[in-house]
């Protein structure tokens, strides 16, 4: 989930509660990840993260799973964020691979194990080597699966064969972390999606999962193909939070406001093409009202 900001740069906690309510009640989200990368977690402070998490839990925690992004490239800091999230009422943790400092696999094993040991919350590992610089190797995932609180993987690595082998060997629950591969991930055993485009097509993604599980592969494929323009617009042309906030702004939904530097708002030409792609993908975008010029 994106983090809404106010014009003065502060976190819009009321806007976050409204957006969370919309995603759960109107877009059929079974859960929300708060303080993830799309939530601009690199530019929010620890106190802001805690208050944001509490606002979302208060809004939807009785009817959706709220997962706290807690991963950093500093193990001790990650442990503190994990404990803070547990105290705030989160029901799980999303723990990204430590980024930039490129630890070896043994370092990843120790890091993820320390986080899982720090609280009573279940952990979802976030494997996204394109951003972190380090993949979680299959052998490491198999070893981590032995921990009773490491239960899931958000995969943005895209190696369906390697993941299939790990799923066959462990009880890890797999989630697509890359919207361009949502349907292929279902075909090899993924349970669902941790989605960015779900901000605007969450209902359709839920229908895709329902159709696939019901054996209606043709229906799932039809939804997949219909959403291709939406996925292309949000996932392939600029940074995810920038694109999503532009989409929310077009739809008149909470969260479509400013971003924190170094991220910047989408330019008008991006928003114009985004409007076209959302419409082609079946998203109802309100018409722009042009005020009359006094004569």
Question: Catalytic one among 99, 126, 175, 212?
Answer: 126
Judge contact between 251 and 283, C-beta under 8 A.
Answer: yes
- Numbers of helices and strands, H then E, in the chain: 13, 7
Ranges assigned E (strand) in 187-283: 192-193
Structure tokens at 11: 């976190």
Bridge partners of 11, per DSSP, are: 5
Cα 82 from chain centroid? 17
N-terminal to C-terminal alpha carbon distance within the chain: 45
- Catalytic, 102? Answer no
Cα separation, 20 vs 27, whole angstroms: 10
SS3 194: coil
User: Other C-beta atoms within 10 Å of 146: how many?
Assistant: 10
- Catalytic, 126? Answer yes
Among 236, 205, 199, CA closest to 3: 199
Question: Catalytic one among 154, 157, 175, 212?
Answer: 154
Q: How many residues would you count in the chain? A: 295
Catalytically active residues, by annotation? 126, 154
């Amino acid at each position: 989930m994106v983090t809404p900001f106010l014009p003065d740069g502060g976190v819009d906690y009321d806007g976050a509660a409204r957006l969370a309510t919309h995603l759960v009640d109107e877009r059929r989200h079974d859960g929300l990840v708060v303080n993830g990368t799309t939530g601009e977690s690199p530019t929010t402070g620890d106190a802001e993260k805690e208050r944001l998490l509490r606002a979302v839990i208060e809004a939807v925690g009785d009817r959706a799973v709220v997962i706290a992004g807690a991963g950093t490239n500093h193990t001790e800091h990650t442990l503190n964020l994990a404990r803070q999230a547990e105290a705030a009422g989160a029901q799980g943790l999303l723990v990204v691979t430590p980024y930039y400092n490129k630890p070896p696999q043994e370092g990843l094993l120790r890091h993820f194990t320390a986080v899982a040991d720090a609280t009573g919350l279940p952990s979802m590992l976030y494997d996204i080597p394109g951003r972190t610089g380090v993949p979680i190797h299959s052998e490491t995932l198999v070893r981590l699966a032995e921990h009773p609180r490491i239960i899931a993987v958000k995969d943005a690595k895209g190696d369906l064969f390697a993941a299939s082998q790990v799923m066959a060997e462990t009880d890890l629950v797999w989630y697509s972390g890359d919207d361009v591969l949502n349907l292929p991930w279902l075909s090899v055993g993924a349970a669902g999606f941790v989605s960015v485009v779900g901000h605007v097509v969450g209902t359709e993604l839920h229908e895709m999962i329902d159709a696939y599980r019901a054996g209606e592969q043709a229906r799932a494929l039809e939804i997949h193909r219909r959403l291709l323009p939406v996925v292309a617009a949000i996932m392939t042309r600029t940074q995810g939070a920038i694109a999503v906030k532009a989409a929310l702004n077009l739809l008149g939904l909470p969260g479509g406001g400013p971003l924190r530097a170094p991220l910047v708002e989408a330019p008008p030409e991006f928003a114009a093409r985004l409007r076209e792609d959302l419409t082609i993908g079946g998203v109802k975008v309100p018409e722009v009202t042009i005020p009359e010029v006094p004569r």
